[in-house]
Amino acid sequence: MSFWGATHLVAQREINAQIRGKGLWITFALFVVGLFAAAILPGVFGDDSAPAVATFGPQATRVVAATDLEARAVADLEQAQALVRGGEVDAAVVDDPASTTGIRVIAMTQTPYQVVAALAAPPPVDLLAPDAVSDQVLFLASFAFALVFFIFGMSGVGIAQSVVTEKQTRIVEILVATIPVRALLTGKIAAYSLLVFGQVGALALLAPLALRAGDLGVLLSLIAPALGWFVPFFLLGYVLLASVWAVAGALVSRAEDLSSTTPLVTMLVMIPYLGVTFFQDNDQAMTVLSYVPFSSAVAMPVRMFAGEPQLWEPIVSLAILAATLVVAVLVAARLYTGSLLQTGARVRLRRAWSGAENPMA
Amino acid sequence: MLQVRSISRSFQGNKVLDDLSFHAAPGRITGFVGANGSGKTTTMRIILGVLAADAGTVTWHGVPITQQVRQRFGYMPEERGLYPKMKVAEQIVYLGRLHGLDLATARHNTAALLERLELIDRADDPVERLSMGNQQRVQICAALVHEPDLLILDEPFSGLDPLAIETVLGVLRAQAARGVPVLFSSHQLELVERLCDDLVIISGGTTAASGDRKSLRARFSTPRFELVVDGDAGWVRDVPGVEVSELDGARVVFDLPESEAESEQAQRVLQEAVRRGPVRSFGAVVPSLAEIFREVI
DSSP character string of B99-142: TT--HHHHHHHHHHHHHHTT-GGGTTSBGGGS-HHHHHHHHHHH
Check residue B68 and give left, alpha or beta (phi > 0: left; psi -120 to 50: alpha).
alpha
What b/e string do you get for A161-179 counting C-beta neighbours within 10 Å, with b at 16 or more?
A: bbbbbbbbbbbbbbbbbbb
Nearest to A177 among B48, B86, B100 (CB): B48
The pLDDT value given to residue A361: 29
Identify whether the C-beta of residue A321 lies closer than 8 Å to the C-beta of residue A293: yes
CB contact under 8 Å between A17 and B86, yes or no, is: yes
> Is the minimum CB–CB distance between A171 and chain B shorter than 8 Å?
yes
Other CB atoms within a 10 A radius of the CB of residue B272 amount to: 14
What b/e string do you get for B3-41 counting C-beta neighbours within 10 Å, with b at 16 or more?
A: bbeebbbeeeeeebbbebebbbbeebbbbbbbeeebbbb
Would you say residue B115 has pLDDT above 70?
Answer: yes
All residues of chain B having their beta carbon less than 8 Å from the beta carbon of residue A360 are 49, 67
Nearest to A9 among B45, B79, B97 (CB): B97
> Is the minimum CB–CB distance between A101 and chain B shorter than 8 Å?
no
User: What's the 3-state SS for chain A?
Assistant: CCHHHHHHHHHHHHHHHHHHCCHHHHHHHHHHHHHHHHHHHHHHHCCCCCCEEEEECHHHHHHHHCCCCEEEECCCHHHHHHHHHCCCCCEEEEECCCCCCCEEEECCCCCCHHHHHHHCCCCCCCCCCCCCCCHHHHHHHHHHHHHHHHHHHHHCHHHHHHHHHHHHHCHHHHHHHHCCHHHHHHHHHHHHHHHHHHHHHHHHHHHHHHHHHCCCHHHHHHHHHHHHHHHHHHHHHHHHHHHHHHHHHHCECCHHHHHHCHHHHHHHHHHHHHHHHHCCCCHHHHHHHCCCCCCHHHHHHHHHHHCCCCCHHHHHHHHHHHHHHHHHHHHHHHHHHHHHCCCCCECCHHHHHHCCCCCCC
Residue of chain A whose alpha carbon sits nearest to that of B97 = A9
Residue of chain B whose alpha carbon sits nearest to that of A343 = B79
All residues of chain A having their beta carbon less than 8 Å from the beta carbon of residue B84 are 169
CB contact under 8 Å between B50 and A173, yes or no, is: yes
Closest CA–CA distance from residue B195 to any residue of chain A (Å): 25
All residues of chain A having their beta carbon less than 8 Å from the beta carbon of residue B70 are 177-178
Percentage with pLDDT > 70 across chain B: 97
Q: Which residues contact A312 (CB under 8 A, 6 or more apart)?
A: none
Identify whether the C-beta of residue B209 lies closer than 8 Å to the C-beta of residue B260: no
Which residues of chain B approach chain A closer than 8 Å at the C-beta? 45, 48-52, 67, 70-71, 73, 75, 77, 79-86, 94-95, 97-100, 142
The pLDDT value given to residue A358: 41
Would you say residue B259 has pLDDT above 80?
Answer: no
CA A269, CA A241: separation in Å to the nearest integer?
8
Identify whether the C-beta of residue B187 lies closer than 8 Å to the C-beta of residue B31: no
In chain A, which stretches have pLDDT less than 70? 42-49, 121, 128-134, 222, 225-226, 342-345, 355-361
Give the A:B interface size as CB pairs under 8 Å: 70
Biggest alpha carbon distance in chain A?
97
Would you say residue B132 has pLDDT above 60?
Answer: yes
Nearest to B52 among A13, A180, A357 (CB): A357
User: What's the 3-state SS for A31-81?
Assistant: HHHHHHHHHHHHHHHCCCCCCEEEEECHHHHHHHHCCCCEEEECCCHHHHH
Reference A271, options A296, A234, A246, A302; nearest CA is A296
Of residues B171 and A128, which shows the higher confidence score?
A: B171
The pLDDT value given to residue A344: 60
Reference B208, options B14, B22, B3; nearest CA is B22
First and final C-alpha spacing in chain A: 16
The pLDDT value given to residue A343: 64
Per-residue pLDDT tens digits for B93-103 = 999 999 999 99
> Is the minimum CB–CB distance between A359 and chain B shorter than 8 Å?
yes
Would you say residue B10 has pLDDT above 90?
Answer: no
Structure letter (DSSP) for residue B238: G
**Pairing mode, if any, of strands B224-229 and B251-255?**
antiparallel
All residues of chain A having their beta carbon less than 8 Å from the beta carbon of residue B50 are 173, 176-177, 341, 358
The pLDDT value given to residue A357: 52
Element housing B36 (H / E): none
Contacts 24+ apart (CB under 8 A), B59-65: B59/B2, B59/B3, B59/B5, B60/B1, B60/B2, B60/B3, B60/B149, B60/B150, B61/B1, B62/B1, B62/B3
Identify whether the C-beta of residue B184 lies closer than 8 Å to the C-beta of residue B31: yes
Reference A241, options A198, A278, A192, A286; nearest CA is A192
Residues present in chain B in total: 297
DSSP string for B239-263 = STT-EEEEEETTEEEEE-TT-SSHH
CB contact under 8 Å between B142 and A174, yes or no, is: yes
Residue of chain A whose alpha carbon sits nearest to that of B128 = A169
Average the pLDDT over B3-8 and give the result.
Answer: 92
> Is the minimum CB–CB distance between A274 and chain B shorter than 8 Å?
no
Nearest to B100 among A1, A165, A170 (CB): A1
Structure letter (DSSP) for residue B232: -
Per-residue pLDDT tens digits for B148-166 = 999 999 998 887 888 888 8
Q: What is the dihedral of CA A248, A249, A251, A253, to 10 degrees?
A: 150
Nearest to B82 among A9, A171, A176 (CB): A171
Would you say residue B18 has pLDDT above 50?
Answer: yes
ipTM score here? 0.80
Q: Label residue B173 by pLDDT band (50, 70, 90).
A: very high
The pLDDT value given to residue B3: 93
CA B122, CA B130: separation in Å to the nearest integer?
8
CB contact under 8 Å between B85 and A178, yes or no, is: no
Q: With 0-12 CB in 10 A as exposed, 13-18 as middle and 19+ as buried, what is B177?
A: exposed
Which of A12, A170, A173 to mutate to probe the B interface, most B CBs <10 Å? Answer: A173
First and final C-alpha spacing in chain B: 26
Closest CA–CA distance from residue A18 to any residue of chain B (Å): 11
Closest CA–CA distance from residue B98 to any residue of chain A (Å): 6
Reference B109, options B98, B101, B118; nearest CA is B101
Which of B11, B42, B50 to mutate to probe the A interface, most A CBs <10 Å? Answer: B50
Average the pLDDT over B28-52 and give the result.
Answer: 89
Other CB atoms within a 10 A radius of the CB of residue A44 amount to: 9
